[in-house]
Structure 1
Amino acid sequence: MQHGGDVVEELTADHREVDELFDRIEAVPARGPERRRLLDRLTIELVRHAVAEEQHVYPAVREHVPDGDALVDKEIADHLRIERLLKDLEGMGADDPELNHLFVKLRTEVRAHVQDEEGNLFAQLRTACGPELLDLLGQEARETKETAPTRPHPGARSSALASKVFSPGLGLVDRVRDFITGRGE
């Protein structure tokens, strides 16, 4: 799916990329190095996506969508569960027997989160916000993903403001670590 457009189109494109990565991970040998490489790629995409949502989408939902606070609180709880699973997966080698179990758990959590966002939150956001705001949010989300962290940091982002302040620094450190280790190439 093509990136660009408004925030719903941008984040939906991310969702399709993540779906594709899940399929690719399932298609490679369970204990091979390709699975580890693809899991790292999946982690990078999920973390960057979550940061963009937390910094730009969720504040807009809180402000413009009726009962937006409750919607966002649920989405943030989903992100925290997913990020903890990613953190657990991060330290595992490709041959760790627990890796496949955590991968299945992660896939289940992410797919449920995506289904809820696309079927509920995105529709309400599109109804509550005009096209100009959705376009602006899409641009901001794309820009944020460029500097966002690439590794899970559960608990590092307690609010949109904290995320905006700390994420670029965490992102820089993560990208340096990725460069040194060759992760995400």
Structure 2
Amino acid sequence: MPDDTQDSGIIGELTADHRAVQQLFDRIRAAAPGSAERKDLADRVTIDLVRHGAVEKEHLYPAVRRYLPRGTAWADRGLANHAGIERVLKELDQRRPDEGEFDGLLVELVTLVTAHSVEEEQRLFPLLQAVCPAAELRELGEKVRADRPTAPTRPRPPAPQAESAGPAVLPGTGLLDRVRDILTRRGRRAGGP
């Protein structure tokens, strides 16, 4: 029987994000190399991953720091993983799908995201679920659901010395990203909002 704390809480929300991104990766693999469809799907993945990273930085890592022994090390590693993913997303965003580097960056992205997701789901989430109160996990899940639609959608990798400092996104950045996405139709052709 599924644990409804996981399903309705932050762990369930973030796991669902992981599944959605993996489905987009499957669609990217099925799209013709060099195609506009592949670029549109990469844009959709970028939007989803940047939003996911923003809500993890805002809600997951503070809870990890608070509740887990060695929580700071776990959070710092997660933030470093997100910084690496955002660097690849930024490079990918600047490439056309018919450029040779585009597919290489996609492979790098899939590798980084898959490793990060597996580490969270198999190691971090079970540890957090064991020590964090169920009510707090549910509350954090509600915050993730509320914040995801307004989170930024464009990668902003931190400077190397700022990786462990946490998010440095100014309020309103998500709104500016969404306006820019609407004007450019970024992520819309691939099933975006």
* TM-score grouping bracket, smaller chain normalisation: over 0.9
Q: Identify the match of residue 59 of structure 1 among 54, 57, 62.
A: 62
Question: Which residue of structure 1 lines up, in the alignment, with residue 87 of structure 2?
Answer: 84
- In structure 2, relative to structure 1, the CA distance for the partners of 1:27 and 1:154 (3 Å cut) is same
CA separation in 2, counterparts of 1:149 and 1:139?
Answer: 18
Question: Which residue of structure 1 lines up, in the alignment, with residue 191 of structure 2?
Answer: none
Question: Which residue of structure 2 lines up, in the alignment, with residue 17 of structure 1?
Answer: 20
Question: Which residue of structure 1 lines up, in the alignment, with residue 148 of structure 2?
Answer: 145
CA separation in 1, counterparts of 2:96 and 2:80?
Answer: 27
CA separation in 2, counterparts of 1:27 and 1:60?
Answer: 37
One-letter amino acid of the counterpart of residue 88, structure 2: L
Give yes or no for contact 2:43–2:93 (8 Å, CA) kept in 1.
yes
| 1:76-129 CA distance string (max 9 Å, x none) | 110000000000000111211110001001100100000000011111110111
> Per-residue deviation at 1:144?
1.5
Within a 5 Å distance, the mapping from 1:144-183 to structure 2 comes to 144-155=147-158, 159-160=165-166, 162-163=168-169, 166=170, 168-183=171-186
The RMSD of aligned alpha carbons is 1.5
| 1:36-79 CA distance string (max 9 Å, x none) | 00000000000000000000110000001111001111111100
CA separation in 2, counterparts of 1:155 and 1:171?
Answer: 16
Q: Identify the match of residue 34 of structure 2 among 31, 34, 59.
A: 31
TM-score (norm 1): 0.92
Q: Identify the match of residue 126 of structure 2 among 104, 114, 123.
A: 123
| 1:127-180 CA distance string (max 9 Å, x none) | 1111100000001111121111101011188645744xx1x4111111111011
Question: Which residue of structure 1 lines up, in the alignment, with residue 4 of structure 2?
Answer: none
Structure 1: give runs of 5+ residues left out of the alignment.
Answer: none
Give the paired residue count: 179
Structure 2: give runs of 5+ residues left out of the alignment.
Answer: 1-6, 189-193
Question: Which residue of structure 2 lines up, in the alignment, with residue 68 of structure 1?
Answer: 71
The runs of 4+ residues in structure 1 deviating greater than 3 Å are 156-163
